[in-house]
Each structure stands twice: as C-alpha cells, then as structure tokens.
Structure 1
Amino acid sequence: MADALLIIDMQAGLYDGPQRPFERERLLDTINQLIKRARAANKPIFVARHTGPEGSPIAAGSPLWQVWHGLEVDEHRDHLFNKTRPSCFLGTDLARQLRAAQVDELVIVGMKTQFCIDTTCRVAVELGFSVVLPEDGHTCMDTPALKAEAIIEHHNGTLAGAFVKRISARDLWRSSDHATH
C-alpha cells in the first residue's frame, strides 16, 4: 500500500486573510513536520490551490492565490495543482496522478475543515482511496454559528470510521516506522 500527503488550500488569501484560521501557527508547524517526514519516507506530496476566475482575489497567479510562504513545499519536487471546487478531484487530474503513482491511501491536511477537507475526504473514499485524517492537521475560521474548534471536532468525529482513519499527526511516518502509520 502506497500513501501520499495531500495539502489543501494552504494559501496566502486563507492563511493570512482578515479572518485568521484557528491555531494557524500550530497547523503550519504540523504540516511542515508531515512534509519532512513524507520526504524522508519517499512519499509523494500533492498541493492543491483553490483557484478563482480571472479577476477574482484568488485568480491564478494573484498574491492571495500563492501557497503560504512558510509552507515548506518544493514546486520542483512536489505536485502542485489548481482546483476550482471544494473537491480536489472534480475538474482536476488528481485521481489519475495518484493511480499513476500507485497511491491508494491519502493523508489529507490543510483548510478549510467544513468545505474542502470534508468534501475531498468523502470523494476520495467514493473513488476507492483510503483516507487518513490527522485530527490536528486541518483548520478553519469561526463562523456565526460555531467556533472553529467545534467545527474541527465535529468533522473529526463525523468523518472518522465511515470515511477516514482518524489519528494524530505525530503518529504518521515516524522515523522508526516509515512503512506504516
């Protein structure tokens, strides 16, 4: 079983926007640690950028569309791709790329919990992939109805079992055991 890291929407417009993501510094550190461990274990890394239409604040190439500068991705080594929907699969060739790399399990991290994380987890399972969701590897912002912490916990609980294997990021790709979680 081959696995890969999928990082969703860690972009300047979301990460550093007017509404700050819950525990954003901790999340950035967690994802950067996963990037380092994925590289050490020779796991492919896929990075999704949410892309708006031409003229929007997150149009391709705009400052807010850029991957957050503190995220340790390598544009020459990692697989960056653009998406226009909450699903990382709809309108992209991600499924084809994963199958070509013989990936059957995805570790999904990034933003926003209730939109792109949730949708991508569910669609990945529908497409036949196994999904690992680090419970501390995704975030969002407060909404008028719920605080971000409650949204994250709700989705961790709702997705666990039926859609994802819920674990702690610290249990992934440890140096003593690269082959398993």
Structure 2
Amino acid sequence: MNRTALLVIDAQNDMLAEGNAVYNARSVLDHMKQLLADARKSGTSIYYIQHNEPPESGPLVRGTQPWQIHSELTPENDDALIHKTMPNAFDGTDLHEHLQQLGIQQLVLAGMQSEYCVEATCRGAVELGYTVTLVKDAHSTWDSGGNTASAIIDRCNKELGSIAAVKTTEEISFGNL
C-alpha cells in the first residue's frame, strides 16, 4: 500500500498569471507537472490545496478565474481537492482526516507561496507526525520585504531542511519514498 501523498499547494491562476507570476513560474510549473505525472504513475494519492479569500481580501475568491487551479495542473477524477482559508492546509480543513483514512504517513510538498502556505503546511504536517519531503524546485513566491524571491525560497529550503527532507524533482521517486 502506498503511504505517500503529493500535496499541490495553491497552484492557482493568480499565482501563475503572466505578467505577475511567481519567480521562475515556468520551471516550477514544469516540475509540478512532472511530480503529478510520476505520482499518478505510481498510484500515489494527490491532494490539491486551494486557497479561498473573501472578496475584500484578495483575488482568490471562490469560483473566480484567478482562484481556479492552473490549467496545466488540472486535477483528475481520483485527485482530492481541499479548500482552505489559512496558510497551513491542516488548519480548519479535513485534510488530516483524509490522509489518516488512507494510512498516509509521508507527504511530498510543492506549490505556492514558499514563505506562507508551503512553509506553514510543512510545519503543520511535521507537528502532526508526517514525514515530509519539500520539493525545493517546485515551490515559489514573489519578491517581498526587501528580499528577492530566490533568497526567500533558499531560506525556506534551508530552514525547513531541519524538519523535512529537501529534494529536487529529479530526486523524487514516489515508488521508493
């Protein structure tokens, strides 16, 4: 039984919109597509995490075009969709219950925004007892607070490396995790 799941966090149109996309968006999209294909081939469970905001808070309003999962990463019939309102995908959702029902013990994380939802979900997963692998070339963000996106991503990879495995897409083998 496969006890690993892939979490694709906030891979929504707004994060990948041409002209305002996260850093290195094309490469990150390609890596997420490869992870999805490999996960499907191995029978690994896939969970899409989708952020929801109230209209006055931002563009990720349920049902709108910016809120939708990017068309290159469209969920398939067996994929699960978890809606969240907090950075940590476990806060206020039934994600943990879904994973427990399937006996999932290990999570592979990819998605947006490195220093918010990816980091919070990684920390939340570890606190719940999951073994976590962060795919270091399959998450991204924007420049923020005087820091470049590249520096933020590097910081997240380094800091989260103290609690999770940090690997490239090429190093991920869902059949051997």
Q: TM-score band, normalised by the shorter chain?
A: over 0.9
Deviations 1:24-76 (A, max 9, x none): 011001000000000111000000110012565322111111001111421x2
How large is the Cα RMSD of the aligned pairs? Answer: 1.5
SS in 1 for 2:119: helix
Whether 1:164 and 2:152 are equivalent positions in the alignment is no
Find 1:66's aligned residue among 65, 68, 87.
68
Match of 1:7 in 2: 8
- Contact persistence 1:8–1:110 (CA under 8 A): yes
Alignment of 1:22-171 (within 5 A): 22-53=23-54, 57-74=59-76, 76-161=77-162, 163-171=163-171
Structure 1, unaligned runs of 5 or more: none
1:64 is paired with a residue of what secondary structure?
coil
Tell whether the 8 Å contact from 1:3 to 1:103 is kept in structure 2 after alignment.
yes
TM-score for the superposition, normalised by structure 2: 0.93
Q: Distance in 2 between matches of 1:149 and 1:59?
A: 27
2:176 to 173, 177, 180: 180
SS in 1 for 2:137: coil
- Paired residues, number: 175
User: Percent of aligned pairs with the same residue?
Assistant: 31
Structure 1's 168 and 57: CA in aligned 2 closer, same or farther, altered over 3 A? closer
Q: Is the 8 A contact 1:15 1:68 kept in 2?
A: yes
TM-score, normalised on structure 1? 0.91
- Residues 35 and 73 of structure 1 are in contact (CA less than 8 Å); yes or no, is this contact kept in structure 2? no
Distance 2:59 2:142 in 1: 18
